[in-house]
Structure 1
Amino acid sequence: MWYPPKVTQAPSEPISVADAKRHCVVLHDDDDGLFAALIVAARDYVERYCNTPMATQTIEVKCDTFCDFRRLPVAPVQSIVSIEYVSTDGTDATVDVVDFEPRLDGLEASILPAYGKQWPIARHGSRIKLTATVGYESLPPAIRHAMLLWIAEAYESRENTALPAWTALDALLCNYRRGA
C-alpha cells in the first residue's frame, strides 16, 4: 500500500508569465501577479484532473512492501533518487542502484529487482521510502495548450458570472489521465 507523496523539492512552473500573457494577448505588466497565481492554479487543476504531476519536482513516497513497486503511485517518473528501508536488524539501509531496474514507461512506471537480484528483507512493520524526480521534463503540447486555455478562461472570467464549458480541456487531457 502506498501512502500520500510528500513534495521535497517544489515544482517550477511549466508555463511562464510571459507565455500566459502572450496567449491572452496582454501587453502590460499590471496583472503579472495575477498571471503567476493563475499558472499555479492551472497546474494544480490539471494535476488533479489527470492524477499526474505536470512540473518537475522531487517527492518522497512510502509503502509497506517491495511488491508495491510493481506500480508506482506517481508517474511520469524521470529518475529514482533512492530507495530506503529498515533492515531486519533495525538499521537504516539503501537499495544499491545496481540492484533494481526502473521501468519509467510514461504513466505506468514500476521498479523491479535487477536480473538475478531480489528485494532485500525489510523489518516487519517498517515502511520503505522511495525518493524520485517526477513530472514532465517538458509538457506535452496538448497539456500545455489545455493549461493556457484554463488560464485564459480564468483571466477573462474573473467575476465568475457563468460556469465555463471545459469540453476542450477534457478532449486535450483525456489521454494523459492516470487511474488511481
Structure 2
Amino acid sequence: MWYPQKVTLAPTDPVSVEEAKHQCVVLHNDDDALFQALIAAARDYVERYCNTPLATQTVEVKCDAFCDFGRLPMAPVQSVTSIAYVATDGTDATVAPGDFEGLFDGLEASIKPAYGKQWPVPRNGSRITLTAVVGYTALPPSVKHAMLLWIAEAYEKRENDAPPSWTAFDALLCNHRRGA
C-alpha cells in the first residue's frame, strides 16, 4: 500500500507568464500576478485530472512492502534517488543503486530487483521510503495546449458564473491520464 507523497523539491511551472499572456492576447503587465496564479492553478488542475506530475519535481513516498514497487503511484519517473528502509535489526538502511532496476515506461513505472538480486527484508511494521525525480522532462505539446486553454478560459471568465466548458481540454488530455 502506498501512502500520500510529499514533494521535497517543488516543481517550476511548465508554462511561462509570457506564453499565457500570448494565449490571451494580453499586451500589458497589469495582470502578471493573476497569470502566475492561473498557471499554478492550471498545473495543479491538470496534475489532478491526469493523476500524474507534469513538471520535474522530487517526491518522497512510503509503502508497506517491496511488492508495492510492482506499480509506482506516480509516473512518469525520471530517476530514483534512494530507497530507504529499516533493517530487521532496527538500523536505517538503503538499497544499493545497483541492486534494483527502474522500469519507467511513460505513464507506467515500476522497480524490480536487479538480475540475480532480491529485495532485502525490512523490519516488520516499518515503511519503505522511495525518493524519486518525477514529471516530464519536456511537457507533451497537447498537455501544454490544454493548460493554455484552461488559463485563457479562466482569465476570460474570471468574473462569470457560467460553468466552464472543458471539451477541448478533455480531448487534449485523455491520452495522458493515468489510472489509479
Structure 2, unmatched stretches of 5+, are: none
- C-alpha displacement of 1:165: 1.2
Query: 1:30 corresponds to which letter in structure 2?
Result: D
Deviations 1:86-123 (A, max 9, x none): 00000000000000000011111000000000000000
Residue of structure 1 in register with 2:58 after alignment: 58
Residue of structure 2 in register with 1:140 after alignment: 140
- Equivalences, count: 180
C-alpha distance in structure 2 between counterparts of 1:64 and 1:169, whole Å: 36
Residue of structure 1 in register with 2:120 after alignment: 120
C-alpha distance in structure 2 between counterparts of 1:39 and 1:70, whole Å: 33
| Local SS of the residue matching 2:149 | helix
Query: 1:83 corresponds to which letter in structure 2?
Result: I
Query: Does 2:11 correspond to 1:11?
Result: yes
- C-alpha displacement of 1:34: 0.2
Structure 1, unmatched stretches of 5+, are: none
Query: 1:64 corresponds to which letter in structure 2?
Result: D
TM-score between the two structures when normalised by the length of structure 1: 0.99
Displacement over 3 Å in runs of 4+? none
- C-alpha displacement of 1:23: 1.1
TM-score between the two structures when normalised by the length of structure 2: 0.99
Residue of structure 1 in register with 2:96 after alignment: 96
Identity of aligned residues (%): 75
Matches within 5 A, 1:139-158: 139-158=139-158
